[in-house]
Structure 1
Amino acid sequence: MNRIALISEHASPLAALGGTDAGGQNVYVAQVARHLARLGYAVDVFTRRDAPHLPEVLEWVPGVRVVHVPVGPAAAIPKEDLLPLMPDFTRFMAAFMERHSMAREGRYDLLHANFWMSGLVAADLKRLLGLPFVITFHALGKVRRLHQGEADGFPDDRFAIEERLVREADRVIAECPQDEADLRDLYAADPARIVTVPCGFDPEEFSPQGRREARERLGLDPDELTVLQLGRMVPRKGVDDAIRGFARALRERGLAARLLVVGGNSPDPDPLLTPELGRLQAVAREEGVADRVIFTGSRDRAALRDYYSAADVFISTPWYEPFGITPLEAMACGTPVLGARVGGIQYTVVEGETGYLVPPRDPDALGRRLGDLLADAPLRERMGEAALMRVRTHFTWEGVARQLAGVYREVEQEAEGARPVPPAESLVERAFQSLMTTLTRSRRALEPQIEAAAEAITECFERGGKVLVCGNGGSAADAQHFAAELVGRFRIDGRRGLPVLALTADTAMLTAWSNDVGFDDVFARQVEAFGCEGDLLLAISTSGRSPNIVAALQAARARGLTTVALLGGRGGDALALADLPLMVASTDTPRIQEVHILALHLICELVEEQISTALPAHLPSALRLNPPGATSPLISAPIPKGANV
């Protein structure tokens, strides 16, 4: 199992959204971490400790830990003031990673930095620890300065640091075509090291809910046209333009509608708590729509689906936007989007199909298009359906995580290939060196899994169950080898034979079923025939993608067998079907097989020790050579009816 360090110095996955420094990056980090974990990665998110009650390490969701880095006061600090804390952030991470690499958690394989200050930490850690890193900037300093001018509170040092990161990162993740173009044009980024991977949404979190029902849950008039603006309350988000455009649409079309403005530093829409709200409330009064605009304050993420679903139109018109996640979430709820023609919004919203695009800072153009949408219910319906189809096809977090995993694989393979090889080194020397590298990377990660697998197999035998083993090619030979060692003996003389069946050994069944029916379920068929609840299936595959291995694991799960899998690479589809996966940290098939053999030998040795100590030494050898209750050569007692043999 590979361990990834996600670095996000100011944007914690635990933060409440909508405040000054809590928005799309928080969502990105949280969802990428969750979905990488579902793919089998171990993920640690490193973020600054900004409250005194936060523990150093929080087990957040399965496979994901949040590590709170204790630099600066344990309180909120504007991200513009965090740069001086980054050397201490780097020192803490280096010590933490070295400490945990020596423990059972295993070493880290790659760093994924989010934002430029996290990138600075990653670049310095690369020099200290030799770890490769990728970076998602989320926003570029030169683009921000272009749009915000003197209102940009970040130091000029940011530009030189970003230029360094573009040179040193193993990959730069662009979030949309505009982001990629800015990296090339403003930072001279090497196109070969830029990979475009968009943001996404989670279908389990956002889906259409029924507009009337959503409005009723929110206490809104179910028959009133409703427009939604949702996001951080900062000037560059263009919420004032949304209010002015909304007012123009009502005046020019004579419509009755309501604008919901969701976001802020607290659930209470108090200008003292969120200063930008005071300015926006003044804009609503100036435009004569104060009674038509509802400022809700921040809302829990669980409530956002109802807000998106309740809206007839979603507005997102920032001055600039590196990507923009909220339009995706609105589209996922079947709501058309009226967006600014900037950054990622012009990539996700298809003009005239899933919504409309207007120039930023142009309330008149926004008002005209909003009027068109509010006046045409069939058009809104068509656009909402098209929007839903587009995001489900192209923009899910699961798909994003799989694309990132592909980037990680490329980077890790390049890092392995970059290790210097002496010109005179022979093929044999290279193979030994490759194996030693794979063993070193796998040792700490596999130790607890090997022990757990041996314990699971021992428990299976002790409750009267049996073990079924399967694999293809070299893994088929390994399956038969493993069965022979446990049915016979590995190291300890005199212990009883253990019930292990290699599903690869019955050539008549394998060839007949493959010829008459198909090869994809030759192992699943035998699991159905021999497997009983309480038994265990050990599947061996260097890739985890073999259809017959996947089918065997599915059949075992259906029959109540414990599933253990020896895998390599990223584990393929088999990974999610294994109760206990043992992952070899390599993509080189021969090296994976060699570590598999070592793991199987260790499991045999551990099982023998546990089985041996479980049986009294004074028992006659004939009894020790047979399972309890079975017929012995010296004792003619019958096998009990219903015994699992």
Structure 2
Amino acid sequence: MNKTGSSGQDGLYICLISVHGLIRGEDLELGRDADTGGQTLYVVELARALARRPEVGRVDLFTRRVIDERVDDDYARPEEDLGDNAHIIRIDAGPEEYLPKERLWDYLNCFVDGALAHIGEHGLRPSLVHSHYADAGYVGVRLAHNLGVPLIHTGHSLGRVKRRRLLARGESSETIETTYAMSTRIRAEEEVLLAADLVVVSTGQEIDEQYGMYDWADEDKMAVIPPGVNLERFTPPPETFAPPICSELRRFLSEPRRPMILAMSRPDERKNIATLIEAYGEHPELREQANLVIVAGNRDDIRDMDAGPRKVLTDLLLLIDYYDLYGMVAYPRHHQSADVPDLYRLVTHTGGVFINPALTEPFGLTLIEAAAAGAPILATEDGGPRDIIAACENGELIDPLDARQIGERLAAVIDDAERWQRYSENGIRLVREHYSWGAHVEAYLRHVAELQEAERHAATRPLLPDHMLVQVDRALVVELAALGGATDRPMRQRLIQELRRRRRQVGFGVVSDRPRREVLAALKELEIPTPDVLITRGGTQIHYGPRLSRDEGWSRHIGYAWQPDRVYNLLAQTPGIELRSRAVQGVHAVHAYIAETDAFPGIETLENELHALDIHARIARLSRNELLAMPVRASKGFALRYFATQWGIPLDHLLVAGGVATDDDMLRGNPLGAVVSPDGGEQLPGLKGLDRVVFTRSHGPAGVLEAIGHYDFFDTCSLPGDRGAATEDAGGDR
């Protein structure tokens, strides 16, 4: 690979996306909660490892900015330097406070817009986007489509797998949906599997047993690239070894020099800590032979924790009491990030074992960390540990539900000095061969180089130096239906007069699912002059007035991998569908009617068939009986953001008014949104409660004028709450 990346700048510019949790460069709070697991460490280490490569010019790790007195101020910093031209970029999205990932879905469009703004402000063009987990996948799909770059995705864990396990535990479908927003997550996962150019997995088992549950998973796009371990941080212990964490463990242990059995995980029921305590408590010889150390995150007061972790830790204490394990089991309340390598070294130093008894483990990052420190391992037979132990020959698999077997295996390894030594030496040697970050990045960049070298990037600004849009600093964009009918003429004329008065400040746009000729005819009937920008056929065409010049750059951008004849032919063969003739179809859109509702198989079935035939298209339902098929990069929201970027209009200086179902993605995110139709609540229920979307009391043009007042659009152009804060700040300065 050449030093100059595909973006034309000095080296590849790689954008990593990991939205939830708490991410910083040092002292990661692993195990703080369900959102601060191994993924947070993985993405930081990946960013650093990629940035060290000569062919990589810059790596930005985008995550959510958090301003919350309950967490450190580090997470409020907009940027953090990781060294070697790697950075953490924190994006404002939704409320400032720390939120669990299940509550972030409504704010991910704001995250997309914030990331696009950051990239645009720095004048960089990404070479690729790499998303981590389902929420980042949602973001990654939209970033990649907007930027016209390849998308790489790593799932880390999958919603369908989690739902199956929760159902097996007796949880109801309703509880799972309410607690985990599971249908939203799975829908995002399917979407990213369709859009991704490459899906990175840690083990072959993920492909066969986890992604195999997804309709749009494609084995040909998947690559097994196991994560690496920081070999400078995780090393075997010296001969004399007494790290600071020893003083904390001595508070619990009567004979701290005994071999240490270490388990380290979040206090999550799936980590199966209770079975490990049972295995230890039921094995008298093991209790005499070794100490058990359980590091289950950090806590101040168990009573203040969420219900899940509280139950796990309460059960832990009850089992210790039941088996009378005082003096034999340590369960420290706090540990630092720097203590983690020392805990592994203590296992090696004392001749103990590291164990992962989880019910299932997608990969098992702690296992390779322990191996690098020389600790033999026992691990669940379900998931990634199978690959790790096969590669490193440094331990044994266990049945996580068989407490008796677990106890016997632990005792056998600790008691057999020759076996223990072989496992320890194998782990130290082979983890460096199979699981170094250098090996990971080498394989990763090899796959990046193999991605199709097609023209993917959006075109640069279609400069029309005499166009009014060059002068404006904000724009009003209105869905055609929101301009009303004959009875709305007085309010519509008032709106047009207001826009004319501010011609050099405010651009005006109209957007519609209808073809351009129908939109122009409707505008003429409504006595509306040709707008500055006209977005038609669901976002597949952009024209600039008054000469209605087509944006050819947008057409090239959305035309990537578009196969209109195949789309038309598939729709023509679909039961219940009636097509307009080819002559009246758009270049990048196929308009269809559902003539027989009973015969039509449904949108999901149709999209599955498109994917099965490798046809890159999306279906928008315009009404109960109308469909519009278009390229995956096209939508009203994508077109709107492209327009804003081309003309240098900040998204928070766009007022977007609509009310039909296909307006959802253009109203979400950082624009100022307004739903002005009388049935807007039924058409767009998912927008209710969002800070940046107002449901106006008036409708049509009157509603647009109400929204202009609500956002003080012609003056401060801001949310009402922000104006109040700004006034207070100004008063304080006087």
How would you bin the TM-score normalised by the shorter chain?
0.5 to 0.7
Q: Residues 179-190 of structure 1: matches in 2 within 5 Å?
A: 179-188=206-215, 189-190=217-218
Match of 1:9 among 8, 14, 19: 19
1:375 pairs with 2:391: no
2:140 corresponds to which residue?
Answer: 122
Q: Do structure 1's residue 161 and structure 2's residue 188 form an aligned pair?
A: yes
Say whether 1:326 aligns with 2:366: yes
In the alignment, residue 303 of structure 1 is paired with which amino acid? Answer: D
Q: Is the 8 A contact 1:8 1:46 kept in 2?
A: yes
Aligned to 1:399: 439
Taking structure 1 as reference, are residues 8 and 190 closer, same or farther at Cα in structure 2, changes over 3 Å only?
same
Secondary structure (helix, strand or coil) at the match of 2:288 reads coil
Helix, strand or coil at the partner of 1:297 = coil
Shift of 1:217: 6.4
Asked if structure 2 preserves the Cα contact closer than 8 Å seen for 1:211 and 1:310, the reply is no
| Map of 1:178 onto structure 2 | 205
Out of 333, 336, 339, which is 1:303 matched to? 339
Mapped contact 1:233–1:263 kept (Cα < 8 A) = yes
* Residues 1:167 and 1:183: Cα distance change in structure 2 (over 3 Å): farther
1:349 and 2:389 are equivalent in the alignment:
yes
Provide closer, same or farther for how the CA distance between residues 45 and 321 of structure 1 changes in structure 2, counting only shifts above 3 A. same
State the AA in 1 paired with 2:335. Answer: R
Residue type of the alignment partner of 1:10 = H
Task: Give the deviation of 1:184 after TM superposition.
Answer: 4.8
Contact 1:269 1:296 (C-alpha < 8 Å) held by counterparts? no
- In structure 2, C-alpha distance between the alignment counterparts of 1:19 and 1:148, rounded to whole Å: 22
After superposition, give the CA deviation of every residue in 1:411-449 in whole Å (9 maximum; x if it has no partner).
2xx1436789xxxxxxxxxxxx9xxxxxxxxxxxxxxxx
- Match of 1:69? 91
Q: CA deviation at 1:202?
A: 1.1
Amino acid at match of 1:161: A
Contact 2:272/2:359 (CA < 8 Å) preserved in 1?
yes
Alignment check: 8 A CA contact 1:171 1:193 kept:
yes
Work out the CA distance in 2 between the residues paired with 1:324 and 1:406: 24
Corresponding residue to 1:263 among 276, 279, 296: 296
Tell me, yes or no, if structure 1 residue 18 matches structure 2 residue 31: yes
Question: Is the Cα contact below 8 Å between 1:147 and 1:320 reproduced in 2?
Answer: no
SS of equivalent to 2:294: strand
Task: Indicate how the Cα distance of structure 1 residues 96 and 418 shifts in structure 2: closer, same or farther if over 3 A, else same.
Answer: closer
Name the one with the larger helix percent.
Answer: 1
Aligned residue for 1:234? 268
Q: How does 1:505-584 map to 2 (within 5 A)?
A: none
Residue 202 of structure 1 corresponds to 230
- Per-residue CA distance 1:209-237 (angstroms, 9 max, x = gap): 14761478623556312110112121111
Count matched residues. 413
Query: Structure 1 residues 415, 183: CA separation in 2 closer, same or farther (over 3 Å shift)?
Result: farther
Check conservation: 2:377, 2:395, Cα contact below 8 A: yes
Ranges in structure 2 where 5+ consecutive residues have no aligned partner = 1-10, 460-734
Code of the aligned partner of 2:265: G
Alignment of 1:60-99 (within 5 A): 60-99=82-121
* SS of corresponding position for 1:338: strand
State the TM-score, normalized to the length of structure 1. Answer: 0.60
1:34 aligns with 2:48: yes
What amino acid maps onto 1:80 in structure 2? Answer: E
What does 1:241-640 align with in structure 2 at a 5 Å threshold?
A: 241-249=275-283, 251-253=284-286, 255-266=288-299, 268=300, 270=302, 272-273=304-305, 275=310, 276-311=312-347, 312-350=352-390, 353-411=393-451, 414-416=452-454
Measured in 2, the distance between the counterparts of 1:216 and 1:97 equals 43
Change in CA separation of 1:418 and 1:350 when aligned onto 2, cut-off 3 Å: same
Q: Secondary structure at the match of 1:255?
A: helix
| C-alpha RMSD of matched pairs (Å) | 2.4
CA–CA distance in 1 between the matches of 2:388 and 2:30?
A: 22
DSSP 3-state at the match of 2:223: strand
| Kept in 2: contact 1:281–1:290 (CA 8 A) | no
1:58 equivalent to 2:72? Answer: no
1:229 match: secondary structure? strand
CA distance in 2, matches of 1:272, 1:372: 39
Partner of 1:143: 161
The alpha-carbon deviation at position 96 of structure 1 amounts to 1.7
Q: 1:32 to 1:254 in 2, by over 3 A?
A: closer
Alignment check: 8 A CA contact 2:391 2:434 kept: no
Per-residue deviation, residues 114-159 of structure 1 (Å, max 9, x unmatched): 0011001011122222121100000011111122233753222222
* Structure 1 position 403, deviation (Å): 1.6
Query: In the aligned structure 2, how far is the partner of 1:337 from the partner of 1:47?
Result: 33
- CA change 1:229–1:211 in 2 (3 A) is farther
Spell out, residue by residue over 1:2-44, the C-alpha distance to the aligned partner (whole angstroms, 9 max, x if none): 1111100014441411211212101110110010011142111
User: How far apart are the structure 2 equivalents of 1:419 and 1:84?
Assistant: 28
Distance 1:352 1:242, change over 3 A: farther
Could you say what secondary structure the match of 1:73 adopts?
coil
Residue identity opposite 1:134 in structure 2? I
Pick from 221, 231, 235: which aligns with 1:193?
A: 221
Contact preservation (8 Å) 2:370, 2:377:
yes
Matches of 2:406 and 2:99, distance apart in 1: 35
Q: Which has the higher contact order (CA 8 A, sep 6+)?
A: 1
Distance 1:254 1:127 in 2: 58
Q: Deviations over 1:95-130 (max 9, x none)?
A: 2222222xxxx2211100000110010111222221
Cα 1:402–1:93 change in 2 (3 A) is same
Q: Check 1:378–1:90 CA distance in 2 against 1; reply closer, same or farther (3 A cut).
A: same
Any idea what SS the aligned residue of 2:304 has?
A: coil
Give me the TM-score of the superposition, normalised by structure 2.
0.53
1:330 positional shift = 0.5
3-state SS, counterpart of residue 77 of structure 2: coil
Q: Match of 2:61? A: 45
How many angstroms apart in 1 are the aligned matches of 2:204 and 2:333?
A: 33
Offset at 1:248? 2.5
**Aligned partners of 1:407 and 1:313: how far apart in 2?**
36
